[in-house]
Amino acid sequence: MLKPVTPIQSELEMVTLEELVPKDHLLRQIDRHIRFDFIREETAHLYCADNGRPALDPERLFKMLFIGYLFGIRSERQLVREIQVNVAYRWFLGMRLTDKVIDASTFSQNRRRRFAGTDIEQVIFDRIVEQAIEQGLIGGQVFYTDSTHLKANANKHKHQLHVVEQTPLDYLADLESAIQEDRSAHGKAPLPPDDRVPPAKEIKVSPTDPEAGYMVRDGKPTGFFYLDHRTVDGLHALITDIHVTPASLHDSVPYLGRLDRMRQRFGFEVAAVGLDAGYFTPAICRGLEARDIYGVIGYRRPHHREGYFYKRDYAYDPERDVYVCPQGELLPYRTTNRHGYREYASSPGQCAGCPMKGQCTRSANGIKVVVRHVWEGHKEAVDAHRLEERGKRLYARRKETVERSFADAKELHGHRYARFRGLARVKGQCLLAAACQNMKKIARLLAQALLRLLGRFNATMSPLGRLWARYTAVACRIRTIRPSSAFA
């Protein structure tokens, strides 16, 4: 029998938020295993202690933002609407069913006024990483690094052309020293100081977001983007470093500096790293060897002119410091140029009657020149790791760690687009999103470990012991006892 519908929305029920939230909800796991009290400590100096209106609890404010990143809610106005109706969100925030949710403008006003110029997002990210280290979830020896692009809030068809000076790279002083040493070893006079004005470069700048970079790369979309440079640990793929740059900056430029920052900040003794082919530069290879780090870098097929020999067809003889061409002729050292490349050149007489000259060179003077970087030995040593069994195993996990981390961020945490304009705000977005990814993984890993521990107790304990284990498990759920103390 089909009964008539009776409206029940106006009935009075005696319920608690505790019983409305499922026991296995993600927010319960995060609340159980992640500590957030440090947020009040780190932001206390930004609030007046004895004057003004009562402020919104900063811990609650950031937990609201965490909800948005955890569940991929890109709009803060939509986030407020979701908190109004979602009992799990209210439980996580410590709010009653009748408590009023803050206005969405509170987020932007705190961003613009209270937290502007601070590094609170970096502090939150670092403290979450420290909690993972305390729980033994980060190995600290093998790391994987890559970058992904976030579409900036700017129209790629609307831009202005600006002429800017190119910024010298950090390693140029070391390279200059290496060039002079190499020239001296070959009996060449030192190069005179380079007093030329750094070359200017014309770039596209968005009038909407001037700090975004115009990206033009093979296989990538064209337009204004930011780059999220991310490093993950090899044990559980937890994120250990985040750095944001305009998309016009090459991936390899900030890498060594971020690697050193991570080692100093967390005390990691990095033993090995796995990197994409874009990081295969002489400076990075030299930097890895100087730090005694086993690096494995992907291979990218070099650009090749059809009908010509590959560079690999010219064999380098380190004992005689010459290159040997495919016809067996020697190309001796000629000079080391200002860019750090040794030049090995033939003579016109060598190439004049060569039957393979058409596949070797078509230069007007009939000379073949092969260049070799002064740090080429470091590149060859790192490239050899790629073919070793250890290197193959290490690099194979790259797609399971950093690439999967980016995939989760884009699919589940709204990481395809920059939510804000400006480098500092986009950096804050990336840091909070990465912190939330870490929270989720830490909570689930610890929850699984707790279940395994309870399983072992149930298998080995007496009936009275199993009853005590169930009691402590319930106590942990309602936060009267923390897991670390319950099973110490």
φ/ψ region of 187 (left if φ > 0, alpha if ψ in -120 to 50, else beta) reads left
In this prediction, residue 248 carries a pLDDT of: 92
Q: How confident is the model at residue 466 (pLDDT cuts 50, 70, 90)?
A: low
Q: Which domains does the chain have, with CATH numbers?
A: 17-118 (no CATH), 125-159+206-299+386-436 (3.30.420.10), 311-374 (no CATH), 457-488 (no CATH)
The string of pLDDT tens digits covering residues 42-75 is 999 998 878 878 888 999 999 999 999 999 999 9
Query: Does 458 have pLDDT greater than 70?
Result: no
Query: How is residue 462 written in tokens?
Result: 């007496």
The string of pLDDT tens digits covering residues 219-256 is 889 999 999 999 999 999 999 999 999 999 999 999 99
In this prediction, residue 245 carries a pLDDT of: 96
Angle at CA 45, nearest 5°, toward 42 and 50? 130
Query: How is residue 7 written in tokens?
Result: 């409206």
Query: Does 173 have pLDDT greater than 90?
Result: no
Provide the CA 320 distance to its chain's centre, in angstroms.
43
Task: Read off the pTM.
Answer: 0.88
More confident residue, 470 or 390: 390
C-alpha to C-alpha distance for 478 and 473, rounded to whole angstroms: 9
Of 203-207, 419-423, 449-453, least confident by mean pLDDT is 449-453
More confident residue, 357 or 425: 425
Query: Does 476 have pLDDT greater than 70?
Result: no
| CA atoms in the 13 A half-sphere facing the CB of 426 | 27
The residues with which 160 forms a beta bridge, in sequence order, are: 205
| Spatial contact of 278 and 249, defined as CB atoms under 8 Å apart | no
In this prediction, residue 472 carries a pLDDT of: 58
The string of pLDDT tens digits covering residues 95-128 is 998 899 999 999 999 999 999 989 999 999 999 9
| Spatial contact of 433 and 413, defined as CB atoms under 8 Å apart | yes
Query: Does 10 have pLDDT greater than 80?
Result: no
| Spatial contact of 336 and 374, defined as CB atoms under 8 Å apart | yes
Query: Does 356 have pLDDT greater than 80?
Result: yes
Query: Does 485 have pLDDT greater than 50?
Result: no
Please compute the mean of the pLDDT values over residues 449-460 and round it to a whole number.
Answer: 73
C-alpha to C-alpha distance for 75 and 219, rounded to whole angstroms: 29
Of 8-22, 279-293, 438-452, 468-482, least confident by mean pLDDT is 468-482
Burial class (CB in 10 A: 0-12, 13-18, 19+), 64: buried
Report the candidate in 412, 345, 420 with the shortest Cα–Cα distance to residue 115.
420
Query: Does 297 have pLDDT greater than 80?
Result: yes
Query: Does 143 have pLDDT greater than 70?
Result: yes
Q: Which residue type, as a one-letter code, is found at position 460?
A: T
More confident residue, 131 or 117: 131
Q: In which element (H, E) is residue 232 found?
A: strand 223-233
Percent of the chain exceeding pLDDT 90 equals: 66
Average per-residue pLDDT for the chain? 89
In this prediction, residue 480 carries a pLDDT of: 36
| Helix 26-33 with 58-70: angle, nearest 10 deg | 140
Longest alpha-carbon distance in the chain: 105
**Backbone φ and ψ of 151, nearest 5°:** -70, 125
The residues with which 316 forms a beta bridge, in sequence order, are: 323
Query: What SS3 string covers 402-414?
Result: HHHHHHHHHHHCC
In this prediction, residue 482 carries a pLDDT of: 39
Query: Does 171 have pLDDT greater than 70?
Result: yes
In this prediction, residue 484 carries a pLDDT of: 39
Q: How confident is the model at residue 383 (pLDDT cuts 50, 70, 90)?
A: very high
Question: Which DSSP state fits 326?
Answer: T
